[in-house]
Amino acid sequence: MDDVLLYGNESEESDKPPSCKPRPVRPWRVAVVANVRGEGTIPGSGPEDAGAEFDKMETIQAIQAAIQSDGHHTVFIPADINLPNNLRDVVPDICFNISEGLGGDGREAQAPALFEMMHIPYTASRVTANAIALDKTLTKRIWRDCGLPVAPFQEFSTGYEQIDPTLRYPMFVKPAREGTGMGMGTQSICYNSRQLRERVHWIIQKYNQPALVEEYLSGREFTVGILGRTDAAGFSLHPEYYQSDGFHRMPVLEVDNDNSITPGVYGHDAKTLVVGEAGVPDFICPAHISASFSRTLQNLAIRGHQAVGALDVSRIDFRCDGEGKPFLLEINSLPGLSPGFSDLCVIANAESVSYRDLILEILYLGASRFGLVEKAIDNQPEIEISLPMPGVKSHRTARVQSRQSLSLRARTQLR
Ligand SMILES: Nc1ncnc2c1ncn2[C@@H]1O[C@H](COP(=O)(O)OP(=O)(O)OP(=O)(O)O)[C@@H](O)[C@H]1O
Ligand SMILES: [Mg+2]
Protein backbone atom coordinates (compact mmCIF):
# COMPACT_ATOMS: atom_id res chain seq x y z
CA MET A 1 0.00 0.00 0.00
CA ASP A 2 3.06 2.28 0.31
CA ASP A 3 2.86 3.67 -3.17
CA VAL A 4 -0.91 4.02 -3.28
CA LEU A 5 -1.99 7.64 -3.17
CA LEU A 6 -5.35 8.23 -1.62
CA TYR A 7 -7.59 11.10 -2.55
CA GLY A 8 -10.63 10.32 -0.45
CA ASN A 9 -13.81 12.35 -0.51
CA GLU A 10 -16.02 10.53 1.92
CA SER A 11 -19.54 11.92 1.74
CA GLU A 12 -22.90 10.92 3.14
CA GLU A 13 -25.29 9.11 0.81
CA SER A 14 -28.03 11.49 -0.22
CA ASP A 15 -31.67 10.72 0.42
CA LYS A 16 -32.89 12.59 -2.65
CA PRO A 17 -35.79 11.04 -4.56
CA PRO A 18 -34.79 8.73 -7.43
CA SER A 19 -33.59 10.64 -10.45
CA CYS A 20 -34.48 9.83 -14.04
CA LYS A 21 -30.73 9.69 -14.78
CA PRO A 22 -28.91 6.38 -14.37
CA ARG A 23 -27.45 6.22 -10.89
CA PRO A 24 -25.06 3.96 -9.06
CA VAL A 25 -26.70 2.29 -6.10
CA ARG A 26 -24.16 4.03 -3.85
CA PRO A 27 -20.94 6.02 -4.34
CA TRP A 28 -18.25 3.78 -5.76
CA ARG A 29 -14.66 3.36 -4.67
CA VAL A 30 -12.94 3.92 -8.02
CA ALA A 31 -9.31 2.96 -8.52
CA VAL A 32 -7.61 4.85 -11.33
CA VAL A 33 -5.06 2.33 -12.58
CA ALA A 34 -2.24 3.78 -14.65
CA ASN A 35 1.46 3.81 -15.36
CA VAL A 36 2.97 7.14 -14.45
CA ARG A 37 6.05 8.61 -16.06
CA GLY A 38 9.12 8.48 -13.87
CA GLU A 39 7.59 6.05 -11.38
CA GLY A 40 8.50 2.38 -11.28
CA THR A 41 10.85 0.54 -13.59
CA ILE A 42 10.22 -1.22 -16.86
CA PRO A 43 11.56 -4.77 -16.81
CA GLY A 44 14.23 -5.73 -19.33
CA SER A 45 16.51 -3.50 -21.38
CA GLY A 46 14.13 -1.41 -23.45
CA PRO A 47 14.79 1.52 -25.83
CA GLU A 48 15.36 4.98 -24.35
CA ASP A 49 11.80 5.99 -25.27
CA ALA A 50 10.28 3.01 -23.42
CA GLY A 51 7.42 4.26 -21.27
CA ALA A 52 6.83 7.27 -23.53
CA GLU A 53 3.13 6.42 -23.44
CA PHE A 54 2.97 6.58 -19.66
CA ASP A 55 0.76 9.24 -18.15
CA LYS A 56 1.63 12.30 -16.17
CA MET A 57 0.46 12.48 -12.56
CA GLU A 58 -1.65 15.51 -13.52
CA THR A 59 -3.71 13.32 -15.87
CA ILE A 60 -4.47 10.86 -13.08
CA GLN A 61 -5.42 13.72 -10.78
CA ALA A 62 -7.68 15.23 -13.45
CA ILE A 63 -9.46 11.88 -13.89
CA GLN A 64 -9.83 11.56 -10.12
CA ALA A 65 -11.25 15.07 -9.85
CA ALA A 66 -13.82 14.34 -12.58
CA ILE A 67 -14.92 11.12 -10.87
CA GLN A 68 -15.02 12.68 -7.40
CA SER A 69 -17.21 15.49 -8.72
CA ASP A 70 -19.89 12.83 -9.27
CA GLY A 71 -19.72 11.81 -5.62
CA HIS A 72 -17.38 8.82 -5.75
CA HIS A 73 -14.24 8.04 -3.79
CA THR A 74 -11.06 7.60 -5.78
CA VAL A 75 -7.67 6.08 -5.31
CA PHE A 76 -4.69 5.88 -7.67
CA ILE A 77 -3.02 2.50 -8.05
CA PRO A 78 0.10 2.17 -10.20
CA ALA A 79 -0.12 -0.62 -12.80
CA ASP A 80 3.08 -2.26 -11.67
CA ILE A 81 3.99 -5.60 -10.11
CA ASN A 82 2.37 -4.55 -6.84
CA LEU A 83 -0.99 -4.13 -8.58
CA PRO A 84 -2.44 -7.47 -7.37
CA ASN A 85 -1.62 -6.71 -3.72
CA ASN A 86 -2.89 -3.17 -3.94
CA LEU A 87 -6.14 -4.28 -5.56
CA ARG A 88 -6.61 -6.75 -2.73
CA ASP A 89 -6.01 -3.99 -0.16
CA VAL A 90 -8.16 -1.31 -1.79
CA VAL A 91 -11.01 -3.57 -2.97
CA PRO A 92 -12.30 -1.10 -5.57
CA ASP A 93 -15.86 -1.29 -6.88
CA ILE A 94 -14.42 -0.51 -10.30
CA CYS A 95 -11.08 0.33 -11.89
CA PHE A 96 -10.82 3.24 -14.31
CA ASN A 97 -8.20 1.66 -16.49
CA ILE A 98 -5.67 3.66 -18.51
CA SER A 99 -2.69 1.40 -17.86
CA GLU A 100 -0.16 0.77 -20.60
CA GLY A 101 1.35 -2.26 -18.88
CA LEU A 102 4.98 -3.15 -18.40
CA GLY A 103 6.63 -4.75 -21.40
CA GLY A 104 5.69 -7.76 -23.46
CA ASP A 105 3.63 -8.30 -26.57
CA GLY A 106 0.21 -7.70 -24.99
CA ARG A 107 1.13 -5.25 -22.26
CA GLU A 108 -2.02 -3.13 -22.56
CA ALA A 109 -3.99 -6.26 -21.70
CA GLN A 110 -2.03 -7.02 -18.52
CA ALA A 111 -4.11 -5.01 -16.07
CA PRO A 112 -7.47 -6.04 -17.64
CA ALA A 113 -6.39 -9.70 -17.41
CA LEU A 114 -5.74 -9.22 -13.71
CA PHE A 115 -9.09 -7.47 -13.19
CA GLU A 116 -10.81 -10.39 -14.89
CA MET A 117 -8.93 -12.91 -12.75
CA MET A 118 -9.83 -11.03 -9.57
CA HIS A 119 -13.45 -10.36 -10.68
CA ILE A 120 -13.03 -6.60 -10.45
CA PRO A 121 -15.13 -4.42 -12.78
CA TYR A 122 -13.17 -2.05 -15.04
CA THR A 123 -13.69 0.48 -17.80
CA ALA A 124 -13.21 0.34 -21.56
CA SER A 125 -12.03 -2.61 -23.64
CA ARG A 126 -11.45 -6.08 -22.31
CA VAL A 127 -8.35 -8.27 -22.50
CA THR A 128 -8.39 -9.55 -26.06
CA ALA A 129 -9.33 -6.23 -27.68
CA ASN A 130 -6.56 -4.41 -25.80
CA ALA A 131 -4.01 -7.03 -26.86
CA ILE A 132 -5.14 -6.93 -30.49
CA ALA A 133 -5.21 -3.13 -30.62
CA LEU A 134 -1.61 -2.96 -29.39
CA ASP A 135 -0.58 -5.23 -32.26
CA LYS A 136 -0.92 -3.16 -35.43
CA THR A 137 -0.29 -6.09 -37.77
CA LEU A 138 -2.90 -8.29 -36.13
CA THR A 139 -5.38 -5.40 -36.16
CA LYS A 140 -4.80 -4.85 -39.87
CA ARG A 141 -5.25 -8.55 -40.63
CA ILE A 142 -8.63 -8.49 -38.86
CA TRP A 143 -9.71 -5.29 -40.58
CA ARG A 144 -8.63 -6.62 -43.98
CA ASP A 145 -10.61 -9.79 -43.29
CA CYS A 146 -13.67 -7.65 -42.50
CA GLY A 147 -13.32 -5.78 -45.78
CA LEU A 148 -12.15 -2.54 -44.16
CA PRO A 149 -9.64 -0.46 -46.15
CA VAL A 150 -6.05 -0.85 -44.94
CA ALA A 151 -2.81 -0.04 -46.79
CA PRO A 152 -1.07 -3.14 -48.20
CA PHE A 153 1.47 -4.34 -45.64
CA GLN A 154 4.02 -6.95 -44.59
CA GLU A 155 5.45 -7.80 -41.18
CA PHE A 156 9.17 -8.52 -40.76
CA SER A 157 10.31 -10.58 -37.77
CA THR A 158 13.97 -11.06 -38.70
CA GLY A 159 14.42 -8.37 -41.32
CA TYR A 160 15.76 -10.93 -43.80
CA GLU A 161 12.38 -12.01 -45.20
CA GLN A 162 11.82 -11.57 -48.92
CA ILE A 163 10.12 -8.24 -49.59
CA ASP A 164 6.62 -8.78 -51.00
CA PRO A 165 7.07 -7.82 -54.69
CA THR A 166 3.48 -6.50 -54.90
CA LEU A 167 4.19 -3.70 -52.39
CA ARG A 168 4.88 -0.31 -53.95
CA TYR A 169 7.39 2.32 -52.79
CA PRO A 170 7.52 4.57 -50.93
CA MET A 171 6.87 2.42 -47.89
CA PHE A 172 6.48 3.32 -44.24
CA VAL A 173 8.21 1.32 -41.48
CA LYS A 174 7.08 1.24 -37.85
CA PRO A 175 7.29 -0.93 -34.76
CA ALA A 176 4.38 -3.38 -34.81
CA ARG A 177 3.49 -2.90 -31.16
CA GLU A 178 4.21 0.63 -29.95
CA GLY A 179 2.26 3.88 -29.70
CA THR A 180 2.82 7.62 -29.39
CA GLY A 181 4.66 7.66 -32.70
CA MET A 182 7.59 5.72 -31.18
CA GLY A 183 10.18 4.85 -33.80
CA MET A 184 8.40 7.04 -36.35
CA GLY A 185 9.60 10.15 -38.12
CA THR A 186 10.50 11.24 -41.62
CA GLN A 187 13.15 8.47 -41.80
CA SER A 188 10.29 5.96 -41.61
CA ILE A 189 9.50 6.71 -45.26
CA CYS A 190 11.62 4.43 -47.44
CA TYR A 191 12.05 4.86 -51.17
CA ASN A 192 14.01 1.71 -52.03
CA SER A 193 14.87 -1.74 -50.70
CA ARG A 194 18.19 -0.62 -49.19
CA GLN A 195 16.50 2.04 -47.04
CA LEU A 196 13.69 -0.35 -46.21
CA ARG A 197 16.00 -3.14 -44.98
CA GLU A 198 18.04 -0.68 -42.95
CA ARG A 199 15.00 0.78 -41.23
CA VAL A 200 13.42 -2.63 -40.64
CA HIS A 201 16.61 -3.89 -38.95
CA TRP A 202 16.81 -0.71 -36.86
CA ILE A 203 13.22 -1.16 -35.62
CA ILE A 204 13.64 -4.87 -34.84
CA GLN A 205 16.85 -4.27 -32.94
CA LYS A 206 15.82 -1.11 -31.10
CA TYR A 207 12.30 -2.15 -30.12
CA ASN A 208 12.90 -5.90 -29.89
CA GLN A 209 9.75 -6.67 -31.87
CA PRO A 210 8.63 -7.12 -35.48
CA ALA A 211 8.61 -4.20 -37.93
CA LEU A 212 5.43 -3.43 -39.81
CA VAL A 213 5.93 -2.17 -43.36
CA GLU A 214 3.03 -0.47 -45.14
CA GLU A 215 2.64 1.37 -48.39
CA TYR A 216 3.08 5.07 -47.65
CA LEU A 217 -0.19 7.00 -47.70
CA SER A 218 0.58 10.49 -48.91
CA GLY A 219 -2.80 12.15 -48.27
CA ARG A 220 -4.53 13.91 -45.38
CA GLU A 221 -4.59 12.50 -41.85
CA PHE A 222 -7.62 12.22 -39.59
CA THR A 223 -8.42 10.72 -36.24
CA VAL A 224 -11.90 9.74 -35.05
CA GLY A 225 -13.07 9.30 -31.47
CA ILE A 226 -15.69 6.68 -30.62
CA LEU A 227 -17.89 6.60 -27.56
CA GLY A 228 -20.75 4.19 -26.97
CA ARG A 229 -22.23 0.76 -27.33
CA THR A 230 -25.57 -0.50 -28.59
CA ASP A 231 -27.22 0.05 -25.17
CA ALA A 232 -25.19 3.12 -24.17
CA ALA A 233 -28.05 5.61 -23.87
CA GLY A 234 -29.70 3.66 -21.05
CA PHE A 235 -26.65 4.06 -18.84
CA SER A 236 -25.41 7.45 -19.91
CA LEU A 237 -25.58 10.72 -18.04
CA HIS A 238 -26.00 12.22 -21.53
CA PRO A 239 -28.27 9.90 -23.51
CA GLU A 240 -28.64 12.68 -26.08
CA TYR A 241 -25.04 12.00 -27.21
CA TYR A 242 -25.95 8.64 -28.70
CA GLN A 243 -27.51 7.84 -32.04
CA SER A 244 -29.94 5.00 -32.59
CA ASP A 245 -27.09 2.49 -33.06
CA GLY A 246 -25.80 3.43 -29.59
CA PHE A 247 -22.67 5.24 -30.79
CA HIS A 248 -21.69 8.84 -30.38
CA ARG A 249 -20.04 10.20 -33.48
CA MET A 250 -17.42 12.67 -32.33
CA PRO A 251 -16.27 15.36 -34.77
CA VAL A 252 -13.38 14.33 -37.00
CA LEU A 253 -9.98 15.81 -36.11
CA GLU A 254 -7.54 16.54 -38.91
CA VAL A 255 -3.83 16.47 -38.11
CA ASP A 256 -2.04 18.63 -40.64
CA ASN A 257 1.61 17.58 -40.59
CA ASP A 258 2.83 19.94 -43.34
CA ASN A 259 4.57 22.36 -40.98
CA SER A 260 5.32 19.90 -38.21
CA ILE A 261 8.74 19.09 -36.78
CA THR A 262 8.42 15.79 -38.68
CA PRO A 263 6.83 16.98 -41.96
CA GLY A 264 4.31 14.52 -43.39
CA VAL A 265 4.43 12.24 -40.33
CA TYR A 266 2.71 12.57 -36.95
CA GLY A 267 5.74 11.03 -35.28
CA HIS A 268 7.00 10.85 -31.73
CA ASP A 269 8.73 14.25 -31.71
CA ALA A 270 5.57 15.96 -32.98
CA LYS A 271 3.42 14.11 -30.44
CA THR A 272 5.36 15.45 -27.48
CA LEU A 273 4.86 19.11 -28.45
CA VAL A 274 2.14 21.26 -26.91
CA VAL A 275 -0.08 23.46 -29.07
CA GLY A 276 1.66 26.81 -29.48
CA GLU A 277 5.17 25.32 -29.54
CA ALA A 278 7.23 25.54 -32.74
CA GLY A 279 6.93 22.43 -34.92
CA VAL A 280 3.60 21.21 -33.55
CA PRO A 281 1.19 19.98 -36.27
CA ASP A 282 -2.01 21.93 -36.93
CA PHE A 283 -5.08 20.36 -35.33
CA ILE A 284 -8.37 21.17 -37.02
CA CYS A 285 -11.56 20.00 -35.36
CA PRO A 286 -14.09 19.64 -36.82
CA ALA A 287 -12.00 18.94 -39.91
CA HIS A 288 -12.84 20.96 -42.99
CA ILE A 289 -14.38 18.09 -44.90
CA SER A 290 -17.83 17.41 -46.29
CA ALA A 291 -20.54 16.04 -44.03
CA SER A 292 -20.66 12.85 -46.07
CA PHE A 293 -16.89 12.26 -45.87
CA SER A 294 -17.03 12.90 -42.14
CA ARG A 295 -19.83 10.35 -41.86
CA THR A 296 -17.79 7.87 -43.91
CA LEU A 297 -14.82 8.20 -41.55
CA GLN A 298 -17.03 7.92 -38.46
CA ASN A 299 -18.77 4.82 -39.75
CA LEU A 300 -15.49 3.19 -40.79
CA ALA A 301 -14.18 3.96 -37.31
CA ILE A 302 -17.19 2.29 -35.66
CA ARG A 303 -16.72 -0.79 -37.86
CA GLY A 304 -13.01 -0.86 -37.01
CA HIS A 305 -13.82 -0.52 -33.30
CA GLN A 306 -16.36 -3.35 -33.43
CA ALA A 307 -14.16 -5.61 -35.59
CA VAL A 308 -11.50 -5.87 -32.87
CA GLY A 309 -14.09 -6.12 -30.09
CA ALA A 310 -13.26 -2.74 -28.54
CA LEU A 311 -15.72 -1.45 -25.95
CA ASP A 312 -17.12 1.95 -24.99
CA VAL A 313 -14.27 4.20 -26.10
CA SER A 314 -11.48 4.25 -28.66
CA ARG A 315 -9.76 6.44 -31.23
CA ILE A 316 -9.05 5.32 -34.75
CA ASP A 317 -6.38 6.93 -36.93
CA PHE A 318 -6.80 7.33 -40.68
CA ARG A 319 -4.61 8.38 -43.51
CA CYS A 320 -5.71 9.01 -47.10
CA ASP A 321 -3.87 7.98 -50.23
CA GLY A 322 -2.97 10.40 -53.05
CA GLU A 323 -6.52 10.17 -54.41
CA GLY A 324 -8.15 11.02 -51.08
CA LYS A 325 -9.33 7.48 -50.28
CA PRO A 326 -9.23 6.84 -46.51
CA PHE A 327 -7.42 3.86 -44.93
CA LEU A 328 -7.54 2.77 -41.31
CA LEU A 329 -4.08 2.98 -39.73
CA GLU A 330 -4.60 1.77 -36.19
CA ILE A 331 -6.96 1.78 -33.21
CA ASN A 332 -6.17 3.13 -29.76
CA SER A 333 -8.37 1.15 -27.39
CA LEU A 334 -6.93 3.16 -24.47
CA PRO A 335 -6.75 6.62 -26.04
CA GLY A 336 -4.77 9.26 -24.18
CA LEU A 337 -6.85 11.28 -21.70
CA SER A 338 -4.49 14.10 -20.87
CA PRO A 339 -6.80 17.12 -20.53
CA GLY A 340 -6.42 19.72 -23.28
CA PHE A 341 -3.58 17.72 -24.86
CA SER A 342 -4.64 14.23 -25.94
CA ASP A 343 -6.40 14.00 -29.29
CA LEU A 344 -9.59 12.57 -27.74
CA CYS A 345 -9.77 15.45 -25.25
CA VAL A 346 -9.21 18.00 -28.03
CA ILE A 347 -12.03 16.35 -30.01
CA ALA A 348 -14.40 16.35 -27.02
CA ASN A 349 -13.59 19.96 -26.31
CA ALA A 350 -14.37 20.89 -29.92
CA GLU A 351 -17.91 19.60 -29.51
CA SER A 352 -18.29 21.18 -26.04
CA VAL A 353 -18.16 17.87 -24.19
CA SER A 354 -16.34 18.74 -20.99
CA TYR A 355 -13.47 16.65 -19.67
CA ARG A 356 -15.66 15.71 -16.71
CA ASP A 357 -18.44 14.48 -18.98
CA LEU A 358 -16.01 12.48 -21.12
CA ILE A 359 -14.52 10.73 -18.08
CA LEU A 360 -17.94 10.05 -16.50
CA GLU A 361 -19.29 8.60 -19.75
CA ILE A 362 -16.38 6.14 -19.88
CA LEU A 363 -16.91 5.32 -16.19
CA TYR A 364 -20.68 4.80 -16.43
CA LEU A 365 -20.45 2.75 -19.62
CA GLY A 366 -17.86 0.51 -17.99
CA ALA A 367 -19.75 0.24 -14.71
CA SER A 368 -23.00 -0.63 -16.47
CA ARG A 369 -21.39 -3.74 -17.97
CA PHE A 370 -20.97 -5.09 -14.47
CA GLY A 371 -24.42 -4.18 -13.21
CA LEU A 372 -23.19 -1.27 -11.09
CA VAL A 373 -25.57 1.23 -12.68
CA GLU A 374 -29.30 1.22 -12.43
CA LYS A 375 -30.65 1.80 -15.90
CA ALA A 376 -32.41 5.12 -16.46
CA ILE A 377 -36.15 4.68 -16.91
CA ASP A 378 -36.42 7.67 -19.23
CA ASN A 379 -33.94 6.28 -21.68
CA GLN A 380 -35.39 2.82 -21.76
CA PRO A 381 -37.76 1.87 -24.55
CA GLU A 382 -40.63 -0.35 -23.52
CA ILE A 383 -39.66 -3.99 -23.35
CA GLU A 384 -41.78 -6.97 -24.20
CA ILE A 385 -42.06 -10.01 -21.98
CA SER A 386 -44.11 -13.15 -22.39
CA LEU A 387 -46.48 -13.92 -19.52
CA PRO A 388 -48.62 -17.02 -19.04
CA MET A 389 -52.19 -15.66 -18.74
CA PRO A 390 -54.50 -17.49 -16.34
CA GLY A 391 -57.05 -19.58 -18.22
CA VAL A 392 -55.35 -18.97 -21.57
CA LYS A 393 -53.20 -21.70 -23.15
CA SER A 394 -51.01 -19.46 -25.26
CA HIS A 395 -48.60 -16.88 -23.83
CA ARG A 396 -49.50 -13.23 -24.16
CA THR A 397 -47.10 -10.39 -24.58
CA ALA A 398 -47.22 -7.61 -22.07
CA ARG A 399 -45.44 -4.30 -22.14
CA VAL A 400 -43.75 -3.44 -18.88
CA GLN A 401 -41.56 -0.67 -17.72
CA SER A 402 -40.77 -0.96 -14.07
CA ARG A 403 -37.69 0.17 -12.20
CA GLN A 404 -37.40 -3.25 -10.65
CA SER A 405 -37.47 -5.17 -13.91
CA LEU A 406 -35.08 -2.77 -15.61
CA SER A 407 -32.47 -2.78 -12.91
CA LEU A 408 -32.67 -6.56 -12.75
CA ARG A 409 -32.06 -6.65 -16.46
CA ALA A 410 -29.07 -4.37 -16.04
CA ARG A 411 -27.62 -6.61 -13.40
CA THR A 412 -28.10 -9.89 -15.20
CA GLN A 413 -27.62 -9.28 -18.89
CA LEU A 414 -24.77 -6.82 -19.23
CA ARG A 415 -21.78 -8.45 -17.70
N1 LIG B 1 1.21 3.86 -43.95
C2 LIG B 1 1.45 5.12 -43.56
N3 LIG B 1 1.55 6.10 -44.50
C4 LIG B 1 1.80 7.38 -44.13
N5 LIG B 1 1.98 7.79 -42.87
C6 LIG B 1 1.89 6.85 -41.91
C7 LIG B 1 1.60 5.48 -42.19
N8 LIG B 1 1.57 4.81 -41.01
C9 LIG B 1 1.79 5.71 -40.05
N10 LIG B 1 2.00 6.95 -40.57
C11 LIG B 1 2.30 8.19 -39.85
O12 LIG B 1 2.87 7.86 -38.59
C13 LIG B 1 2.01 8.30 -37.53
C14 LIG B 1 1.99 7.32 -36.38
O15 LIG B 1 1.52 6.08 -36.88
P16 LIG B 1 0.50 5.19 -36.05
O17 LIG B 1 -0.76 5.90 -35.85
O18 LIG B 1 0.44 3.87 -36.73
O19 LIG B 1 1.36 5.04 -34.70
P20 LIG B 1 1.17 5.28 -33.18
O21 LIG B 1 2.47 5.58 -32.63
O22 LIG B 1 0.58 4.07 -32.66
O23 LIG B 1 0.20 6.45 -32.95
P24 LIG B 1 -0.66 6.79 -31.62
O25 LIG B 1 0.14 7.81 -30.90
O26 LIG B 1 -1.87 7.33 -32.23
O27 LIG B 1 -0.85 5.55 -30.83
C28 LIG B 1 0.66 8.48 -38.18
O29 LIG B 1 -0.13 9.36 -37.43
C30 LIG B 1 1.03 8.97 -39.56
O31 LIG B 1 1.35 10.35 -39.56
MG1 LIG C 1 -1.67 6.73 -34.20
Atom 11 in ligand 1: residue holding the nearest Cα: 265
Fold category of 152-215 in CATH: Dna Ligase; domain 1 (3.30.1490)
Atom 29 in ligand 1: residue holding the nearest Cα: 266
* pLDDT score for 270: 86
Residues of the chain with CATH 3.30.1490.20: 152-215
Best residue among 221, 265, 333 to mutate for probing ligand 1's pocket (most ligand atoms within 8 Å of CB) is 265
Report the nearest atom of ligand 1 relative to the CA of 217. Answer: 3
* pLDDT score for 42: 55
Q: Report yes or no: 197 and 161 within 8 Å, Cβ to Cβ.
A: no
Other C-beta atoms lying within 10 Å of the C-beta of residue 206: 16
User: Among 128, 69, 66, which Cα is nearest to 96's?
Assistant: 66
How far is ligand 1, taken at its centre, from the CA of residue 129, in Å? 19
The CA distance from 228 to 340, in Å, is: 21
Architecture (CATH level 2) of domain 5-137+219-252+287-369: 2-Layer Sandwich (3.30)
How far is ligand 1, taken at its centre, from the CA of residue 226, in Å? 18
Atom 19 in ligand 1: residue holding the nearest Cα: 181
DSSP secondary structure letter of residue 273: P
Best residue among 55, 266, 282 to mutate for probing ligand 1's pocket (most ligand atoms within 8 Å of CB) is 266
Atom 15 in ligand 1: residue holding the nearest Cα: 181
* pLDDT score for 11: 40
Give the mean pLDDT per block of 10 residues along the chain (415 residues): 38 45 82 85 58 84 98 96 97 97 91 97 98 97 98 98 98 92 92 98 95 97 97 94 96 93 87 83 96 98 98 98 98 96 96 98 97 73 39 33 30 24
DSSP secondary structure letter of residue 240: G
The CA distance from 234 to 245, in Å, is: 12
Pocket of ligand 1 (CB under 6 A): 136, 151, 172, 174, 178-182, 184, 214, 216-217, 221, 257, 265-267, 271, 317, 319, 329-330, 332
Residues of the chain with CATH 3.30.470.20: 5-137+219-252+287-369
Other C-beta atoms lying within 10 Å of the C-beta of residue 401: 11
- Among all bound ligands, the one having the nearest atom to the CA of 222 is 1
Best residue among 329, 334, 347 to mutate for probing ligand 1's pocket (most ligand atoms within 8 Å of CB) is 329
The CA distance from 21 to 364, in Å, is: 11
